[in-house]
Structure 1
């Protein structure tokens, strides 16, 4: 009896897996057909040799570039939070960041500085870039991205304060529209003592400028 129940459960799980794969394949096919139609709308022939696999490549590329929608901060941090009696600033600088502007779906990219002052808990240093990745790999605006990173760290660690600065170049301003090739956008989000204490905020910004993208 036990063996029969086990076999039935395995069969049911297998059916669900097959169903999920089939659904994903249908979704991918529909996505690729939309890309083919876009190619037709701009006057291209999706059947010519150079474009035959373009819909498939674009579908995979966009899913990769927006995979942050399916990620969570708690999943990427896992159990990498540690009790530590450290009450001075922790800063990880020059984190490479790539995202897609939600208005034109063109890339914007640059560097992120993330700092926090612990209040009894620290996080593994590699987890700060991973938090950046969770929110950057989505359709975004830089202002919201900056705030989301700061808010996530504040919620997960409950530190004395958090500071985040992003400097980025936006292709929607460089390749089209105003076409300003050398323009940069800088945004910041500060919480806790970074907002309340001017000296703490100044220290953070000064450290960001030392041999960094803002220097």
Structure 2
């Protein structure tokens, strides 16, 4: 019988071209000026730079080490990390959507350090996208690195493209879920996970 290493560390990074911060700042200035804003106003002089910095920060997640550990205790019950903050950008309007993620899994041979759930959510959130794609990306990543018996991800978020413009319905939340393995196929495991991720008043 082979023995799994105590821990494994995988560097998680996205391959993206270097960002030209000066070009982003110039583009932001052009956009704001085209909207009729006076960039000579002392309150707006630095706005293009700040806007560029904000957009770069919101579209580029930090690298991190994803550490997994051998499941020597053979723990086989559900692990759920709830209310992980989510901040991402709607790819249709480039406006934020903000909420929480609930991530759970049924361990197999390996378990994940708890802080890595939040890092993984943040890593995948830092890009323009749909909430549906974000939900599946986190679940796919967990499935790939852990090979668990089941994975579940639920995200609940308010989209400012819906609350601040268009329909103008503040407080409206969108819920998406992705389930794999026993959390999808076994009714009792599925019900337990969804109960644990249900919003509380």
- Is 1:141 paired with 2:130? yes
Please list, as runs of the form range in 1=range in 2, the aligned pairs for 1:6-155 lying within 5 A after superposition.
27-68=20-61, 71=63, 75-77=64-66, 80-84=67-71, 85-155=74-144
Give the match's secondary structure for 1:51.
coil
What is the aligned length?
182
Q: Deviating runs (4+, > 4 A) in structure 1? A: none
- Unaligned 5+ residue runs, structure 1? 1-22
Provide, for residues 71-104 of structure 1, a one-character-per-residue CA deviation record: whole Å limited to 9, x for no partner: 4xxx431xx2111111111000010111111111
- Residue 153 of structure 2 corresponds to 164
Query: Partners in 2 of 1:109 and 1:182 — Cα distance?
Result: 11
Root-mean-square deviation (CA, aligned residues, Å) is 1.4
Give 1 or 2: higher strand fraction.
Answer: 2
Give the match's secondary structure for 1:49.
coil
TM-score (norm 2): 0.86
Asked if 2 retains the 8 angstrom alpha-carbon contact of 1:110 and 1:169, the reply is yes
Give 1 or 2: higher helix fraction.
Answer: 1
Give the match's secondary structure for 2:77.
coil
TM-superposed deviation, 1:105: 0.7
Which of the numbers 174, 190, 193 marks the counterpart of 1:201? Answer: 190
TM-score (norm 1): 0.81
- Unaligned 5+ residue runs, structure 2? 1-17
